[in-house]
């Protein structure tokens, strides 16, 4: 389908953002494919790496996803031996995660491919435009949509 067959699509912020997100997600997935990871899995490995054994709830909050979606994304990473989940030493109800040594190696491998994807994207849209896009999207992610809009 083309834009001409979908009247009004470009007027919807949500539809346009999702369409762009799917296209960009496929691009990163394709570049990361030799590592065996999808972009979402790479992003999760990176968040775990920088988080110093983060709680699963903290990761879900940072990535703006629910715990079940996080668990779904984590499951193959745990299965493949890249991540291990464990109970917090002070509160056994809290689940924490950490990279295994194999996960650290996989993250390093995938980071090389991710860097290629970043460079290609920035070559296509421009480094300044890419930075502005990230800033705009971060600002949107920080909005509290539960609050009534100001009038």
Domains and CATH numbers, the chain: 21-141 (1.10.10.10)
> What is the model's pLDDT at position 51?
87
pTM here is: 0.84
> What is the model's pLDDT at position 8?
61
Across the range 87-98, mean pLDDT stands at 92
136 pLDDT above the threshold of 60:
yes
CA geometry: angle 29, 34, 35, nearest 5 deg: 85
Confidence band for 82, pLDDT divided at 50, 70 and 90: very high
Distance in angstroms (rounded) separating the CA atoms of residues 49 and 55: 12
Confidence band for 6, pLDDT divided at 50, 70 and 90: low
In this predicted model, what pLDDT tens digit does every residue of 7-39 receive, in sequence order?
566 778 888 899 999 999 999 999 999 999 999
Distance in angstroms (rounded) separating the CA atoms of residues 136 and 107: 27
């Amino acid at each position: 389908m083309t834009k001409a067959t979908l009247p009004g699509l470009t007027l919807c912020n949500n539809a346009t953002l999702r369409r762009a997100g799917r296209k960009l997600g496929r691009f990163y997935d394709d570049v990361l494919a030799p590592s065996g990871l999808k972009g979402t899995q790479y992003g999760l490995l990176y968040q775990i790496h920088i988080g110093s054994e983060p709680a699963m709830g903290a990761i879900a909050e940072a990535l703006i996803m629910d715990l079940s979606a996080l668990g779904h994304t984590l499951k193959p990473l745990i299965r493949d031996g890249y991540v291990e989940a464990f109970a917090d030493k002070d509160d056994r109800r809290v689940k924490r995660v950490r990279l295994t040594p194999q996960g650290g190696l996989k993250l390093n491998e995938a980071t090389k491919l991710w860097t290629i994807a970043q460079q290609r994207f920035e070559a296509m849209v421009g480094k300044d435009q890419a930075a502005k896009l990230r800033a705009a999207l971060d600002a949107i992610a920080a909005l509290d949509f539960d609050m009534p809009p100001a009038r």
